[in-house]
């Protein structure tokens, strides 16, 4: 809580947009970038919770990435987030989901200490680049709080100590209704809402926003647990998809001749 207001933090990722996903180097010059699509729903839900509570909530957007990821935070503010924090350092580069969730957990601890305890952490169910769906559950484990994935509806949020949360979670054969205490980490699906288009007022606020940047020193993070040093997986260099070779055209005076040539060619290759 921040005073008597629910404190919501939305974890987002600035990734290659749908128009640029064939690019081998995300963030390279000329490659279009945007919020990961599922994170748009998480931001929208955070703003809707604030609206349902009559403004008695504060929404902070949090991202880990290169300096240009600040543009993703400005998009969040344009959509209704109150502010944003960028986690950026060369030491964070090439981190897997385990190292990423550790850094995010350190940032949430810092926010809780400086601003007030974080009640609710929202994130998309997965990102559109690695598509693992691991950061939300891993973040809950680092924080030692409940984590719920596949949430398609936030039915109830009651601030307090402890607060109360009721959500509807998608499962294979229907829906589960889950009640949890706060704090809690919730991973959002696209069925939960329809993200709004940023209004001019929001865009102006986003343009003026001052976005703090925190590295390991500001977080008090163990450098050995960040980036590639703190990862359980190692990443190779991204490579473009090899081009496909040209096919072979079998000519013939009629369909019968073409079929005979095809059968002969398949027999030559041991396929028949």
One pLDDT digit (tens) per residue for the chain, 272 residues: 888 899 999 999 998 876 544 444 444 456 788 898 999 999 999 999 999 999 999 999 999 999 999 999 999 999 999 999 999 999 999 889 999 999 999 999 999 999 999 999 999 988 887 778 889 999 999 999 999 999 999 999 988 777 899 999 998 888 999 999 999 999 999 999 999 999 999 999 999 999 999 999 999 999 999 999 989 887 777 677 788 877 888 888 899 999 999 999 899 988 88
Classify residue 138: in a domain, yes or no: yes
Closest by Cα among 141, 130, 129, 120 to 188 = 120
Classify residue 239: in a domain, yes or no: no
176 shares a domain with 109: yes
Classify residue 142: in a domain, yes or no: yes
The count of domains in the chain is: 2
**Can you give the pLDDT at residue 24?**
43
60 shares a domain with 110: yes
**Can you give the pLDDT at residue 272?**
83
150 shares a domain with 255: no
206 shares a domain with 174: yes
**Can you give the pLDDT at residue 144?**
95
CATH number for the domain spanning 36: value is: 3.40.50.620
**Tokens matching residue 187:** 């991973």
**Can you give the pLDDT at residue 31?**
73
Return all residues near 67 (Cβ < 8 A) that are at least 6 apart.
Answer: 86, 88, 213
Classify residue 238: in a domain, yes or no: no
168 shares a domain with 43: yes
**Can you give the pLDDT at residue 247?**
81
CA distance 50 to 7: 9
82 shares a domain with 42: yes
255 shares a domain with 188: no
Classify residue 188: in a domain, yes or no: yes
Range of the domain at 164: 6-230
């Amino acid at each position: 809580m921040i005073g008597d207001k629910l404190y919501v933090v939305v974890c987002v990722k600035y990734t290659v947009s749908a128009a640029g996903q064939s690019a081998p180097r995300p963030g390279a010059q000329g490659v279009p970038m945007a919020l990961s699509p599922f994170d748009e729903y998480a931001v929208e839900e955070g703003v809707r919770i604030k609206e349902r509570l009559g403004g008695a909530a504060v929404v902070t957007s949090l991202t880990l990435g290169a300096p240009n990821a600040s543009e993703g935070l400005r998009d969040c503010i344009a959509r209704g987030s109150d502010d944003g924090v960028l986690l950026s350092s060369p030491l964070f580069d090439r981190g897997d989901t385990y190292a990423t969730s550790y850094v995010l957990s350190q940032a949430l601890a810092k926010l809780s200490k400086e601003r007030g305890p974080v009640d609710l952490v929202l994130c998309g169910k997965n990102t559109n680049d690695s598509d693992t769906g691991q950061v939300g559950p891993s973040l809950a484990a680092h924080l030692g709080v409940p984590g719920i994935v596949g949430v398609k509806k936030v039915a109830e949020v009651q601030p307090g100590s402890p607060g109360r949360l009721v959500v509807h979670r998608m499962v294979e054969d229907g829906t589960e209704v889950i009640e949890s205490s706060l704090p809690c980490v919730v991973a959002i699906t696209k069925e939960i809402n329809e993200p709004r288009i940023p209004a001019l007022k929001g865009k102006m606020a986003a343009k003026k926003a001052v976005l703090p940047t925190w590295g390991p020193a500001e977080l008090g993070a163990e450098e050995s647990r960040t980036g590639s040093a703190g990862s359980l997986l190692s990443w190779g260099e991204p490579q473009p998809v090899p081009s496909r070779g040209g096919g072979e055209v079998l000519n013939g005076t009629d369909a019968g001749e073409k079929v005979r040539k095809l059968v002969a060619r398949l027999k030559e290759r041991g396929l028949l």
